Structure 1
Amino acid sequence: MKRNKLIAACAALCLSVTALSGCGNDIGTNGSLSPLSKAETEVTTAVTTVTEPVTTTQATTTTPEVTTTANTAVTIPEEDVFPTTGEWADNNIVIADRYNGDKIRALLPFYSTDSIGQWYAEVLNSYKEMVGPDVNVYNMSIPLASQFYMPPDFADVYADQADGIKNIGSALKDVKNVDLIDTMKAHLNEYIYSRTDHHWQPLGAYYAAGKFCEEAGVDFVSDLSKYEKCVKEGFCGTMYSFTYVQELMDHPDTFTYYKPQNDYTVTYYDEAFTSGTEGDLFFDWVEGVGCYSVFMGGDMKITEIKTDVDNGRCVVLIKDSYGNALVPFLVGSFSKIYVVDFRYAEITMKELFEKVGATDILFGMSISSGYTPGQIECIEGIKG
């Protein structure tokens, strides 16, 4: 009963603005955010891919075979990268360049208190103490777009996320802090964050995964041409439902994701890590506001991925929805990958680590989760 109450409390927290950055939608189940109705998201979403029609395990809708696009990262002219104007919208969200066409961008707030970030670090330290010296533990606090793309007049309205990440890192003991600030800064003229959604783009996750694999000492498939590139046009994400700013709907995102080409199998388990069912890693048929749920269909399941990588490394990714986009880029680097959302897990992490033989544990989530007390309580509560 206590654990069920904790799970319910964690899910409810995602409705608060401080936890918006870590929320996602789950296919077939109402997750932490309710998607807009179909009528409200009447934006055509086309998928560009070269695969055969894909049928998921949870739907019979197929994705038609169409033409492919060049498999390179698209750069944006520097003068179009950084906004010049901004205004407030609902939920303390800043709308940048509202009347400047496709430059419009909705930016999530971030607030922090050093003591809360240090509490999060202490929880991660306790995980490291639990697993001992033979298991590697990493923290990846993923910065929000608001760290990099704030209009000049709004530059100081939110807390500095670089300072927040350093604050967490300073309190970690034998836990490696994967600091992404410089990694993201190096690619700000690429499509690494969505403009209409609170998540990052998969391209941002690609650069982050490369940084993590470097820290973990495993090979990384860094050549984007080695992945299959899929493109969904007309992606108007969650920021419209948070703000109802019509210009976001008028200028939707392009959602581009990448599929690994090595051999792997995927099994989905329930929150208690029972009742496994084989399935697809990508839910290609999702559209509209749900495009980000293309990865594993959302958040609530525990996902097991077994790959043809022969290095004996088994990583457990403990994440919020930001971590979902990392998963495809880990498939070429680890023998086994387990993905669990701390907000829904009903198995203790101690038991999970022992069952799967974890060699590496990555806490990969939005920086907001590391500064939200309820989220930290969830992470602490599932430790075991």
Structure 2
Amino acid sequence: MESKHSQDAQHSSRTGQEQKHSPSHHHSPRQKTDLLNVLLMGVLVVGVSLWFLLGTRPTVSEIENRNLAKFPEFSWDAYLSGEYTEGIANFYNDTVPKREWFKNLTASLRRHMGVQLEDDVKFYGTLHVNTDSEPELQTTPVETEPALTTEPTHTQTGTEPVTTVPTRPAESQQITAATTVTVEENADSKEDGEISNNILIYKKRGIMLYGGSYAAGRNYASYVNAYKSDLGKDVNVYSMVIPTPCSYYMPEKYQYLIGSEQGNIENINAHLNGVEPINVYDILGQHTDELIYPRTDHHWGAIAAYYAAQEFASVANVPFRDISRFEKITKPGYVGTLYGYSGDIVLKDNPEDFVYYAPEEDYTTTYYNSDLTNQRNGRLLINLDKVKPVSWYLVYMGSDDRITHIQTQTKNGRTLCIVKDSYGNALTPYFMDSFEHIYVIDMRYFKPNAIAFMKERNVTDVLFAMNTFSATGPNAKKIEQIRTQ
């Protein structure tokens, strides 16, 4: 007969085995903690996702000075082609709630990112070497290593870049060994044609890399020539193609990364027929020690526009008001669009002065929508007190997507129409003594037929004023579009 001690041992063993194989009805403290963490993470992920999906989405980027993507309109053609779904993705990517805050945060975290070419040079975008140094566009592809890209990237033209080996000394070859060389017409331009995706940061200055072509310049010249043909011999037509900072401030070591703005301007002027060129390249080159271009913005400065306007007035043979008769206004703390596009913290941490010149109040300014509706009076130079620094260039007329009419006190029977990109905005205030009427239209937004518009208003002088990115980029086609629409 088994002892009581032996029976108790056997009972204890069976009980332990039953407990080992039976499901537990209790969680240990660690299991409860793990479960709570999973639940909290799930709630956080769902909450953030819902906020990104349903939160208030911005419509304008102030640090990039542009309108953000709009939700696409549905059509079966767009849906079947994939354009509609692509537009939805672009909308959600481009309009993230608190977009500007995230962009500033990213810039701070990315302080040491970018392609560091040397101690004081940093690059953002897709490195390319411009090869269009001759009138005929080079298109022969040569195999190289994959393209070197860095954040942030922006919309390209959709054309695949052609690659080639740069014909440079060994020192430069080392820098460009892993670069994509773009040789098609201005393939690195944004949709509006005014700003390059590729930006070099040098001595606290942002420099857009120009890559226009002679072929595109000839197209621009032909579009402008067509205005002269349509308007006739009694209307003076002028072309002012404006260089950008890369012509004057690009480090010598990296000149091969850009096309020649001077060469492209000269090529355009050589193909003008009946159109008077306004050459401001040399004029601006005489004032590079002045604030002719901001360090942090892709536009030109007010004093540069003054020198260019003075040259135009001389060629057009009209009176011109001296700079001493303008009020110089300086606003500190300016950080422009190049910080928004590059995200480089050096630009953000080194703001500059924004300077503009206000003429005497002896004119009337009338605005219209781009289709000539909604007539209203306003100020030529808007009040910047409630405008964020990145948008201070909007001091000139407040926007690009409107038609402006200025009636001055001058009585000389001359009426000027400025066809422009945003560079042309800064010219307008200087012509108060030069023309009786001034009309300003932006070829990117103008809805009426441009020739009919000019004839109906008895325009005597037409000035095409835009930077090189527009003249040899997508904007040139819009000059022809508004002539024929």
Residue 331 of structure 1: aligned partner = 432
The one-letter amino acid of 1:302's match is I
Give the counterpart of 2:328 among 193, 209, 229.
Answer: 229
Per-residue CA deviation, residues 16-70 of structure 1 (Å, 9 max, x unaligned), is: xxxxxxx9658xx9xxx9998489689xxxxxxxxxxxxxxxxxxxxxxxxxxxx
What is residue 182 of structure 1 aligned with on the other side?
Answer: 282
What is the CA distance between 1:332 and its match in structure 2? Answer: 2.4
SS at match of 1:189: coil
Counterpart amino acid of 2:420? K
CA distance in 2, matches of 1:236, 1:319: 24
Deviation readout 1:147-178 (Å, 9 max, x if unpaired): 10011211221011110100000000010111
Query: How far apart are the structure 2 equivalents of 1:236 and 1:38?
Result: 15
Q: Could you tell me which residue of structure 1 aligns to residue 456 of structure 2?
A: 355
Which of residues 124, 129, 154 is equivalent to 1:89? 124
Please list, as runs of the form range in 1=range in 2, the aligned pairs for 1:1-384 lying within 5 A after superposition: 25=66, 37=100, 85-90=120-125, 91-97=197-203, 104-222=204-322, 224-261=323-360, 263-285=362-384, 286-372=387-473, 374-384=474-484
AA partner of residue 306 (structure 2): Y
Q: Which moved more, 1:324-333 or 1:195-204?
A: 324-333
The one-letter code sitting in structure 2 at the alignment partner of 1:94 is: L
3-state secondary structure, aligned to 1:155: helix
Give me the whole-angstrom Cα distance separating, in 2, the residues matched to 1:298 and 1:218.
27
Partner of 2:84: none
Shift of 1:287: 2.8
The structure with more radius of gyration = 2
Point out which structure has higher relative CO (alpha carbons under 8 A, 6+ apart).
1
Give the C-alpha shift of residue 262 in structure 1.
5.2
After superposition, the Cα gap between the structure-2 partners of 1:220 and 1:38, relative to the gap in structure 1 and judged at 3 Å, is: farther
**Partner deviation per Cα, 1:175-223 (whole Å, 9 max, x = no partner):** 011111110011000001010000011111011100111111001112x
Moved more, 150-159 or 359-368: 150-159
Cα 1:24/1:367, change in 2 over 3 Å:
farther
- What is the CA-CA distance between 1:313 and the residue it aligns to? 0.7
Match of residue 8 from structure 1: none
Rounded Cα–Cα distance in structure 1 between residues aligned with 2:201 and 2:367? 38
Q: Is the 8 A contact 1:86 1:154 kept in 2?
A: no
The Cα RMSD (Å) is: 2.3
Against the structure 1 CA distance between its residues 40 and 288, is the aligned structure 2 distance closer, same or farther, given a 3 Å change threshold?
farther
Q: Equivalents in 2 of 1:41, 1:298: separation in Å?
A: 25
Secondary structure of 1:141's aligned partner: strand
Unmatched 5+ residue regions in structure 2?
Answer: 1-63, 71-93, 106-117, 126-196
Task: Return the letter of the residue paired with 1:243.
Answer: S
Partner of 1:14: none
Name the counterpart of 2:164: none
Question: Does the 8 Å contact 1:260/1:332 carry over to 2?
Answer: no
Which amino acid is the alignment partner of residue 87 of structure 1? K
Secondary structure of 1:209's aligned partner: helix
Equivalents in 2 of 1:314, 1:167: separation in Å? 29
Change (3 A) 1:38 1:363: farther
State the alpha-carbon separation in 2 of the partners of residues 36 and 118 from structure 1.
40
Q: Deviation at 1:263?
A: 0.8
TM-score (norm 2): 0.61
- How big is the shift at 1:312? 1.0
Q: State the one-letter code of the partner of 1:376.
A: A
**Counterpart contact for 1:136–1:360, Cα < 8 Å:** yes
Q: Residues 244 and 345 from structure 1, CA distance in 2 versus in 1: closer, same or farther, beyond 3 angstroms?
A: same
Matched position secondary structure for 2:241: strand
Q: For the residues of structure 2 that align with 1:278 and 1:261, how far apart are their CA atoms?
A: 17
- What TM-score do you get using the length of structure 1 for normalisation? 0.76
Does the CA contact (< 8 Å) of 1:262 and 1:308 recur in 2?
Answer: no
> Could you say if the C-alpha distance between residues 257 and 309 of structure 1 is closer, same or farther in structure 2, counting changes exceeding 3 Å?
same
1:288 CA displacement: 1.4
TM-superposed CA distance for 1:272, in Å, is 1.3
User: How far 1:116 moved relative to its partner?
Assistant: 1.1
Q: Distance in 1 between matches of 2:256 and 2:321?
A: 37
SS at 1:284 equivalent: coil
Write the deviation string for residues 66-99 of structure 1: whole angstroms up to 9, x where unpaired: xxxxxxxxxxxxxxxxx994231233211112xx
- Alpha-carbon distance in structure 2 between the residues aligned to 1:247 and 1:225: 34
1:116 partner letter = A
Unaligned runs of 5+ in 1: 1-22, 43-82, 98-103
